[in-house]
Amino acid sequence: MNKGRVTIPTDDNFIKETLEIAEKWGADGIRDCDGFKLPREIKGLAERIYSTYFVARGDNEWAEANREELQQTYLMTKHHVAVENKLTIKIMDGYFAEQVEPDTYHDIKTWWEVIDRTTNEVVPTENWTYSEESGEVTINNVSKWHEYTVSFLAYCIWDPTQMYNHITNNWGDKPHEMPFDARKPKTNKHIIEAMYNWLDEHPESNVVRFTTFFYHFTLVFNDLAKEKFVDWFGYSSSVSPEALDEFEKVKGYRLRPEDIIDQGYYNSPFRVPSKAFLDYIDFQQQFVAENVKKLVDVVHEAGREAMMFLGDNWIGTEPYGKYFESIGLDGVVGSVGGGATLRMISDIPGVKYTEGRFLPYFFPDTFYEGNDPTIEARDNWITARRAIMRKPVDRIGYGGYLSLAYKFPKFVEYIESVCDEFREIYDNIDNSKPYCGLKVGVLNCFGKLRSWQTHMVAHALWYKQIYTYLGIIESLSGMSLDVEFISFDDIKQNGVPSDIDVIINAGDAGTSFSGGEKWLDKEIVTTLRGWIYNGGGFVGVGEPSAVLEGGHFFQLAEALGVDKELGFSLSTDKYFKTPVEKHFITEDVVEPFDFGESQKNVYSKSKDTEIICYENGDLLMSANRYGKGRAVYIAGLPYSIQNTRILMRSCFYAAGKEDEMKKWYADNLNCEVSAYLETKKYAVVNNSNEEQTTLVYDGNGNSVQMTLDPCEIKWINMV
Amino acid sequence: MNKGRVTIPTDDNFIKETLEIAEKWGADGIRDCDGFKLPREIKGLAERIYSTYFVARGDNEWAEANREELQQTYLMTKHHVAVENKLTIKIMDGYFAEQVEPDTYHDIKTWWEVIDRTTNEVVPTENWTYSEESGEVTINNVSKWHEYTVSFLAYCIWDPTQMYNHITNNWGDKPHEMPFDARKPKTNKHIIEAMYNWLDEHPESNVVRFTTFFYHFTLVFNDLAKEKFVDWFGYSSSVSPEALDEFEKVKGYRLRPEDIIDQGYYNSPFRVPSKAFLDYIDFQQQFVAENVKKLVDVVHEAGREAMMFLGDNWIGTEPYGKYFESIGLDGVVGSVGGGATLRMISDIPGVKYTEGRFLPYFFPDTFYEGNDPTIEARDNWITARRAIMRKPVDRIGYGGYLSLAYKFPKFVEYIESVCDEFREIYDNIDNSKPYCGLKVGVLNCFGKLRSWQTHMVAHALWYKQIYTYLGIIESLSGMSLDVEFISFDDIKQNGVPSDIDVIINAGDAGTSFSGGEKWLDKEIVTTLRGWIYNGGGFVGVGEPSAVLEGGHFFQLAEALGVDKELGFSLSTDKYFKTPVEKHFITEDVVEPFDFGESQKNVYSKSKDTEIICYENGDLLMSANRYGKGRAVYIAGLPYSIQNTRILMRSCFYAAGKEDEMKKWYADNLNCEVSAYLETKKYAVVNNSNEEQTTLVYDGNGNSVQMTLDPCEIKWINMV
């Protein structure tokens, strides 16, 4: 039996058992984890020894000596209403003084901004003062009953990840790690030197696992030491006067604090991004890539591999960004929450390998007496496996305390089967591309840059406003379709790529994912209308193409055959409410529809719209012809096996390729087929925990009946 | 027992029975109804004989002879996408050729408009042509994939009400009544002459019941002869080249067809009204008032009374408009659907009397064997009675075929009790004003003009998007509060009236009722913030003060203590989800909350917000202090007895006058108290069909227990 492609953590005084597990799971990699340091004698005990390395924290001596080179962040106070002609705002109200402190080292009149949020006007600097002693900004000559905010630059005096771990685990008086800024001149030099030193001092490892580089995603705590603001994509904590001055030189114009503050939304990925913000992230990505490359070069000089953890201080190294490949990293490792996060890792271009860290983490919250950690492991594996079938990561791994997992023999045995199954899949696919029935483009404001990362707030966390759309990405991650992420700007500049069969646009009105004001761009909207009319397929979920203009709310209302009633057209009678008796899209449906948060007040515009689901006065699913093309509307698609099938059928229907769906296809919606034409193998997977019987169709549409055990994967050689 | 204040219909060969019923019900008025003409011998058989009179239809000889003076309307085609560089649009597609026909008598290049709805640009007239033969507009040099509409002027060749009755009742080859336009010179003169003639020919009646005057509300049928568009407030069918030319002279600028067409929304009352539209309705109201006054003068000259039916061709005579009183009408009669419509009639200023036509209408759809028409009558009476207690109409009446009702003796008896109860209430109130605990201002874009007429599409019809807000108006109609309707423009010009305790703002985002862009007006928003902060009360329902700006969606978010999450601030943690244990507002709640269509994603902005109801991740009811003032948020308030009590308590709480609520008050929410300090009487009503026991509080807060029969009203003399 083959071995390798698996990384395991180790533990204090646990070398013998570590090797025992490594043997059992076929692990060829051992990593340190959570504060535990690898012993020197680990060297050579596995092919691959990973050591965690922090670039911009963990050296408080340096940080203390160069406090003006600490990382910085932009913060906004809450809104304060002026009740007299003077207004005083305590700027740190609601912030955590152990995490951030106002920067008065740099000129506050240059770097801070007081804004009248009722008029959107900046208050002249001569009209406000700041008292360091009281921590208050006093604004004079305010307009009564207007609301004001202060945007201020602050120093980050505690790395957010260490802060989180410190507070969560009650680390008491353990020092707070202060993050220093690679853009500041002394620190930039220091970081390189520290890298050399560290490599010298750590001969035992041959893989440097960067956790991570320069800037943490935005994670700000409140005055109760709890999370106040989290944005896994946030660039707010990558700012500094140096960065903003340099930005002006590079991009030819100056950013205002407000370009980062964004009314307190801080350029959340749900905002349609401004040009200034897009320029800023481009600018930071370029800087980070150039400087991370220097570190990677040092690692390579030392004959080691350089690996990046996808998270924490990853800002600027977005792996689908245009500078990422130039860094020259060997690998990327990330946490796998399901299919979408797996594809986010496995599709990363320009690295030699990718690695997924699977769940559960070997921590006492899961590994306690009486609990069966196998359940979480199986759920995690089965959802991720769908995506692995389409594009595998090159390695899998686990994290936490191995000594904990060791006490659960059933779990150890289950993971052994997972590792074997993973290697079997990997070998059978053998780097070939599986058969794809269609190519789908997911259209939003970020396109390729945020491949597999739409509708996300904090990494893999559930939010009420996102699960309805995340389901689409999760479904797609394991579907036998080709998937590309495209932006409105791509469409504007280059039109719709010629190989796209179906465009999916999903999200709440006004968000970057639905597109908001992008739909007012006549080049974009006409390009898409024309593309659909000429035979393209469009699947809109939630409030696709939504922005009120020209008598429509959905700008593709005529193509979709539906629009949403905001009240303005209530006077127009809505007659079309009767669903079709059956429809291609819902032929496999076995349980009640689940539209998640769903939509209200969507209605059919004409008798020609094929209404597929209509409940309580709301149209929830429909299809429509538009010239030679077709458009499908769905009110929401949280992830489920049934919704995955509904989405797949929607795509084939929209593309007008219903006849081609039953190739490498299983009619039982609990099963999926992936076919690898190059390696002449195909696999049928059972995504459920029950036995399933299904017709399995080959590439010519011939079918044969099969029965699969719970979660089974069957490999078959093509004839 | 007293008599009078009641109007009944009569019927063919039914004089004896009519007098019998008149005697029973104490009716002093007899009216004609639905085509039936009063016989000459009716004269003198009752104090008041009403004859229906149509001003602008029913004289097809005139209409045929003066076709160019028929009424006109502006219509828009649906959106058509350009798929090549020429586009042909059949303009009557979807319209009913028996109702409207394109006006080619006037210069189409002046009066029609072809619009590129993708750019909002008007297509130059030289780029399109119209063929009368094919009924098609052909647009040349179109932009591919842009959408185009044609706005065209049409003649109305069938009065909408007659059309509706004709089609509904299968009147076969009965002539279609063509409406002629009082603004056209010959017709204007003709209408006055016809009035003289009609009075001469109808000596039997002493009350002319105008049904109604010049312009019908917008009611357009589709090509299947079914309703396509209905707006009870619509002015679209009052247009003509003469009107638009005159408008320019009076107002100093020219209207475009688009000012009427409004992207196909036709200035629905849900639209925040444009200045052009407000100017236009002012202009038409002035014209209609002046010219109706001439007719009323003729009626008065003849020694008769002039009464207006509130509906049908009522456009221009909005009774709360600024020219209405100048008409000099004696009375207004309208159909009563419940409390709100009753108050809409009874509060009309400047007439000698108002009359409510109650339900059921004596038609076979209710009066058939096996059905009990008493049920509808009781529901109608009990809901309307709440409003009568606050401000009675001066008369009540019924419509339809009296001979039908006559066959239902139980019904005849029930109406006898209604008539007696009505007269008892009327006499006990004796034109005095009942005690009001508070004064409430309902704030929207129309204010006084549309008193009691908010959120309405077609008169008293249920729509999914309106019942959640109409409930507020229905509740208020019978509440012991003073109610005023105020507009944003009032606030801008004059501030909040000094006698207002509580402002209610209710509606969906962007609508005229919530206010939409009016909340961007800094004078308006700061006036309201200051007013609340200084002690005012605010009750927001649905999406109050909603427009995205300055970091808030609700512009009064800080006052309300809540905002709505559109996705942009998902990164900010929302901690405050725990409801208070009990709250003044919900002390009387006896059944599950009903928020109607409710709201999603409203959240508390601070720990100080008192959350009253929070379900499934959504805040649905809350209260908040703002300076010395308070604001209450409610997700929706469809009409119910319980929601009426919730609204009443919300108002007292918002006003900070909880201590004053229990004056002339019943603690059982099925009961209400109205006190008439001038006549030294008070009444306790039971609004339910069950017996109720309640504590009844007098004006000093002393209470006594009472038990009331189902629907009972108890009158008590003050001591």
Please answer yes or no on whether A573 and B227 come within 8 Å at the CB atom.
yes
DSSP string computed for B442-474: EEESSGGGGTT-TT-SSTT---TTTHHHHHHHH
Residue A499's pLDDT is 97
Instruction: Provide, rounded to the nearest whole percent, the portion of chain A with pLDDT above 70.
Output: 100
Residue B33's pLDDT is 78
C-alpha of A80 from chain center: 34
- Euclidean distance between CA atoms A47 and A4, whole angstroms: 9
- Euclidean distance between CA atoms A158 and A642, whole angstroms: 45
> What mean pLDDT do residues B434-456 have?
97
Q: Write down the H helix ranges in B578-661.
A: 641-654
Which residues 583-602 in chain A show a CB within 8 A of chain B?
Answer: 597, 600-601
Is A36 a residue whose pLDDT tops 80? Answer: no
List of domains in chain A:
6-57+169-175+182-226+274-429 (3.20.20.80), 438-660 (3.40.50.880), 665-717 (2.60.40.1180)
Q: Locate the chain B residue with the closest alpha carbon to A509.
A: B566
Determine which of A570, A599, A600, A628 to mutate to test the interface with B (most B C-beta atoms within 10 Å): A570
Please answer yes or no on whether A570 and B268 come within 8 Å at the CB atom.
yes
Q: Locate the chain B residue with the closest alpha carbon to A522.
A: B118
| B312 in catalytic set | yes
Say if residues A128 and A60 touch (Cβ distance below 8 Å).
no
- Nearest CA among B676, B660, B668, B658 for reference residue B718: B676
Residue A464's pLDDT is 97
> What mean pLDDT do residues A467-492 have?
98
Contacts of A304 (CB under 8 A, 6+ apart): A199, A205, A206, A207, A208
Written as six digits, the tokens of B601 are: 């994603």
Instruction: Provide, rounded to the nearest whole percent, the portion of chain B with pLDDT above 90.
Output: 95
Which residues 434-493 in chain A show a CB within 8 A of chain B?
Answer: 457, 463-466
Whether B145 has its CB under 8 Å from any CB of chain A: the answer is: yes
Coil vs helix vs strand at A270: coil
Whether A263 has its CB under 8 Å from any CB of chain B: the answer is: yes
Q: Tell me the torsion sign for CA atoms B223, B225, B228, B231.
A: positive
Please answer yes or no on whether A568 and B265 come within 8 Å at the CB atom.
yes
**pLDDT digit string (tens) for A564-592?**
999 999 999 999 999 999 999 999 999 99
Confidence band for A34, pLDDT divided at 50, 70 and 90: low
Confidence band for B49, pLDDT divided at 50, 70 and 90: very high
**pLDDT digit string (tens) for A532-557?**
999 999 999 999 999 999 999 999 99
- Which helix (H) or strand (E) segment holds residue A610: the answer is strand A610-615
- Nearest Cβ partner for B268 among A263, A457, A568: A568
Whether A530 has its CB under 8 Å from any CB of chain B: the answer is: yes
**pLDDT digit string (tens) for B340-372?**
999 999 999 999 999 999 999 999 999 999 999
- Nearest Cβ partner for A567 among B264, B465, B566: B465
Confidence band for A673, pLDDT divided at 50, 70 and 90: very high
Confidence band for B399, pLDDT divided at 50, 70 and 90: very high
Burial class (CB in 10 A: 0-12, 13-18, 19+), A252: exposed
In this structure, how many other beta carbons lie within 10 angstroms of the beta carbon of residue A121?
12
Burial class (CB in 10 A: 0-12, 13-18, 19+), A196: middle
Is B582 a residue whose pLDDT tops 70? Answer: yes
- Euclidean distance between CA atoms A312 and B79, whole angstroms: 49
Parallel, antiparallel, or unpaired: how do β-strands A128-131 and A136-140 relate? antiparallel
Coil vs helix vs strand at A606: coil
List active site positions of A. Answer: 312
- Euclidean distance between CA atoms A138 and A147, whole angstroms: 14
Say if residues A556 and A540 touch (Cβ distance below 8 Å).
yes
Is B242 a residue whose pLDDT tops 60? Answer: yes
Is B34 a residue whose pLDDT tops 80? Answer: no
- Nearest Cβ partner for B117 among A527, A551, A573: A551
Write the CA distances from A698 to A701, A702, A718, B590, integer angstroms.
5, 5, 9, 62
DSSP code, position A687: -
Bridge partners, A147 (sequence order)? A81
Contacts of A445 (CB under 8 A, 6+ apart): A272, A273, A487, A488, A489, A512, A513, A515, A516, A518
Contacts of A509 in chain B (CB under 8 A): 566
Written as six digits, the tokens of B439 are: 């004064």
Burial class (CB in 10 A: 0-12, 13-18, 19+), B78: middle
Confidence band for B239, pLDDT divided at 50, 70 and 90: very high
Written as six digits, the tokens of B639 are: 């009409």
Distance between first and last Cα of chain B: 25
Say if residues B5 and B395 touch (Cβ distance below 8 Å).
yes
Is A2 a residue whose pLDDT tops 80? Answer: no
- Euclidean distance between CA atoms B24 and B26, whole angstroms: 6
Residue A695's pLDDT is 97
Q: Write down the H helix ranges in A302-408.
A: 339-346, 373-390, 402-406
- Please report the ipTM that was assigned to this predicted complex: 0.96
Please list, residue by residue across B565-587, b when 16 or more beta carbons sit within 10 angstroms of its beta carbon and e when fewer do: bbbbbbbbbbebeebeeebbbbe
Residue A103's pLDDT is 97
Please list, residue by residue across A128-150, b when 16 or more beta carbons sit within 10 angstroms of its beta carbon and e when fewer do: bebeeeeebbbbeebbebbbbbb
Q: Locate the chain A residue with the closest alpha carbon to B466.
A: A567
Residue B35's pLDDT is 65
> What mean pLDDT do residues A602-622 have?
97
Bridge partners, A218 (sequence order)? A231
Instruction: Provide, rounded to the nearest whole percent, the portion of chain A with pLDDT above 90.
Output: 95
- Euclidean distance between CA atoms A141 and A104, whole angstroms: 24
Residue B1's pLDDT is 52
**pLDDT digit string (tens) for A450-472?**
999 999 999 889 999 999 999 99
DSSP code, position A254: P
- Euclidean distance between CA atoms B79 and B90, whole angstroms: 11
DSSP string computed for A162-227: HHHHHHHTT-TTSPPPPPB-TTSHHHHHHHHHHHHHHHHH-TT-SEEEES--SBPPEEEE-TTSSE
- Euclidean distance between CA atoms A71 and A177, whole angstroms: 12
Written as six digits, the tokens of B636 are: 């929706």
Of B11, B231, B312, B501, the catalytic one is B312
**pLDDT digit string (tens) for A76-88?**
999 999 999 999 9
Parallel, antiparallel, or unpaired: how do β-strands B121-122 and B72-76 relate? unpaired
